[in-house]
Every structure is written in structure tokens, then in C-alpha cells.
Amino acid sequence: MSERNPLPLILTAIATVVVTVGSLWYYGYLHIAKPEDALLLNDYTMLKTVPGEDYKVSLSPAPQVAQCIDGVLVLFDTEQKGLTGVLVDKRKRAVRCAGQETPEVGRP
């Protein structure tokens, strides 16, 4: 009985992992996040509107665009391709969109 050389099996396993990760990244199923990709929630402030009081905002728009998807407010960044996020509160609850039906607890 001869011993088998484990080196080809180890190299095959490593090559398989590298090719799999590379393929997932190439087709967009894997995104390696960088610190500059993050949008912090403290970068946003809600301006409370009070009837009869004026408030001032900048005329130039923010680089993010919001869209309602499945009743949840999703932010898309127009400057950094592929950067999206769900707007949440401090308890990580998703901010819902007005004008769309929101799912009720216990109902499909």
C-alpha cells in the first residue's frame, strides 16, 4: 500500500476557494465593504415641521436617493455605485414608507 501525496488535494481546495470567491465578487454576489462605503445614521437629521414656522434647507440635493421598496425606505448613493442601505432607527427598526400598506404582525 503506497501513501498518497496530500499536496495536490490541498492545492485543489485552495484554488477552488479562490476561484469561487473571485466568481462571486465578479458577478456582484459578494461585496467587500470599505470604511468609506459606510453611511452613518448620525449623518442624517430629521427636521420637525411645525405649522406656521419656517425651516431652512440647502438648495443642492444630497447624493442619496430614497425609494420605497416593499414598504421600507431604501437609500441609494448616486456617488458610490452599489452603495445602498435601509434607513433604521436607533433600535434597528426599518423606517416604513407612507402611502403603502405595511405588513401587520401575524398576517402574511
Q: How many CB atoms lie within 10 A of CB 50?
A: 8
Sorted by where each begins, the domain ranges of the chain are 1-32, 35-108
End-to-end Cα, the chain, rounded Å: 62
For the whole model, what pTM was predicted?
0.46
Between 70 and 39, the higher pLDDT residue: 70
Hey, what's the torsion of the CAs at 103, 105, 106, 108, to 10 degrees? Answer: 10
Contact assessment for residue 84 and residue 63, using Cβ atoms and an 8 Å cutoff:
no
The closest of 92, 75, 6, 90 to 37, measured between CA atoms, is 75
- pLDDT (tens digit per residue) in 13-51: 999 999 999 999 888 888 776 666 555 555 667 777 788
Question: What whole-number distance in Å separates Cα of residue 26 and Cα of residue 28?
Answer: 6
Is residue 63 within 8 Å of 77, Cβ to Cβ? Answer: yes
Give pLDDT, residue 22.
93
Residue-wise pLDDT for 71-96, tens only, equals 888 888 887 776 678 887 778 788 88
